[in-house]
Structure 1
Amino acid sequence: MRVIAGSARSLPLKTLEGMDTRPTTDRIKETLFNMIQSEIPGCRFLDLYAGSGAIAIEALSRGAKEAVLVENSKAACACIRENLAFTKLDSQAVLMEQDVAAAIVRLSGQEVFDIVYMDPPYAKDYERGALEALAAGSIIDGYTTIIIEEKLDTDLSYVQDLGYTITKTKMYKTNKHVFLKKEGK
């Protein structure tokens, strides 16, 4: 796994051993960032369930102003710290080693994020809790792009009941990216 583009282009990133995380492949990461490339420069980026930190690091490498990474695994946080230091992007990043819902509450009252990316463990319905916390908090608005990476068969039809609209879905062989906006811009 590597950084695809920007200031840290081609630098290899570490990942965790085992099956606790599923790093987004370079091909899927490249497709994702091609879709959001115009939103990245100068943005505030929130990476929930950050894993190795590769998605937030890609955003920073491509010109995001700041990234906040949320991860509750000690091993994953150690990996993120190493990757941020190696890419020399650590001064633009904040790593929160805690539960996603608690982090969202802790971030409330700060500036709104432009992009929120979440790649929770598949088939555990964690994204629902994160979306509920985001809707109840003050860190997103109607202009924030929310991206969820999930299994192909994950049903996200409930998001409208939480106050979100699905604006786009990009399907891959084994997973998908679902793009949301909070209703009521």
Structure 2
Amino acid sequence: MTRIVAGTAGGRTLVVPAKGTRPTSERVREALFSRLEHLDAVEGARVLDLYAGSGALGLEAASRGAAHVVLVDSARVAVDACRRNVRALGMAGRVDVVADTVDRYVARLDGPAFDLVLLDPPYDLGDGALAAALEGVARGTAPGAVVVVERSARASAPVWPAPLVPLDDRRYGETQVWFAEHAAAQEAPA
């Protein structure tokens, strides 16, 4: 069973596709969002959840105070699950579901649309495909935006394109999480 960990929808269960997705465990989501809240990256943020699956990461962000969330997945069962979860949690209008490939969606990004981007691709996604997705994400983030990649602990670290710079990484069992920030935030005058 997958459920929202905290916030306005805390404890509510989510529909998860029977196959084809790997939902982030509650333990990892709790640790991930604890780190993101420490970075002040969730409250009021515009959030993009790529490879959304059930939408658990993006919906967790909405539950914890994100202003607007976009869930992107290309699998019909995942898109259907996301839509059902958005309706069940009463988040229509704050959370949009986009049925598209990540490649096509990020190719259209142009401008500082998002403050937080969450990427939880299939574990078998190659390094080149992840790098291409991150190139598009880099164009679609605002100064100070935080980008998170979740992969197998056996996978190689993401290659962060400019202006994204690595912040941190954490390992939770077989899951590795990397954090980066849009570098313009570090160049702002004090």
Using structure 2 for the length normalisation, give the TM-score. Answer: 0.88
Q: Secondary structure at the match of 2:97?
A: strand
**Structure 1 residue 116 corresponds to structure 2 residue 117:** yes
Structure 1 pair 157/115, CA: closer, same or farther in 2 (3 Å)? closer
Report deviation, 1:183. Answer: 3.7
Structure 1 pair 157/112, CA: closer, same or farther in 2 (3 Å)? closer
The equivalences for 1:144-155 within 5 A come to 144-155=145-156
Give the conservation status (yes or no) of the 8 Å contact 1:41–1:65: yes
Q: Secondary structure at the match of 1:35?
A: helix
**Structure 1 residue 11 corresponds to structure 2 residue 12:** yes
Q: Gapped runs of 5+ residues in structure 2?
A: 186-190
Give the conservation status (yes or no) of the 8 Å contact 1:104–1:134: yes
Letter of the structure 1 residue corresponding to residue 130 of structure 2: E
1:60-91 residue CA offsets vs partner (Å, 9 max, x unmatched): 01110000111001110000000010010122
What residue number does 2:133 align with? 130
1:10-45 residue CA offsets vs partner (Å, 9 max, x unmatched): 111110112x11000111111111111232111100
**Structure 1 residue 55 corresponds to structure 2 residue 57:** yes
What is the alpha-carbon distance in structure 2 between the residues aligned to residue 96 and residue 157 of structure 1?
24
Report deviation, 1:184. Answer: 4.6
What residue number does 2:44 align with? 42
What residue number does 2:70 align with? 68
Report deviation, 1:117. Answer: 0.3
Q: Gapped runs of 5+ residues in structure 1?
A: none
Corresponding residue to 2:104 among 102, 105, 108: 102
Q: Secondary structure at the match of 1:64?
A: coil
Structure 1 pair 124/158, CA: closer, same or farther in 2 (3 Å)? same
Report deviation, 1:133. Answer: 1.8
**Percentage of pairs with the same residue:** 30
What residue number does 2:157 align with? 156
What residue number does 2:80 align with? 78
Structure 1 pair 157/61, CA: closer, same or farther in 2 (3 Å)? closer
**Normalized per residue, which structure has more helix?**
1
1:138-157 residue CA offsets vs partner (Å, 9 max, x unmatched): x2144110000011121126
Using structure 1 for the length normalisation, give the TM-score. Answer: 0.90
What residue number does 1:31 align with? 31
What is the alpha-carbon distance in structure 2 between the residues aligned to residue 112 and residue 169 of structure 1?
24
Report deviation, 1:123. Answer: 3.2
Runs of 4+ in 1 over 3 A off after TM superposition: 182-185
Give the conservation status (yes or no) of the 8 Å contact 2:167–2:181: yes
Give the conservation status (yes or no) of the 8 Å contact 1:127–1:148: no
Report deviation, 1:166. Answer: 1.5
Give the conservation status (yes or no) of the 8 Å contact 2:144–2:183: no
Aligned length: 179
Structure 1 pair 94/106, CA: closer, same or farther in 2 (3 Å)? farther
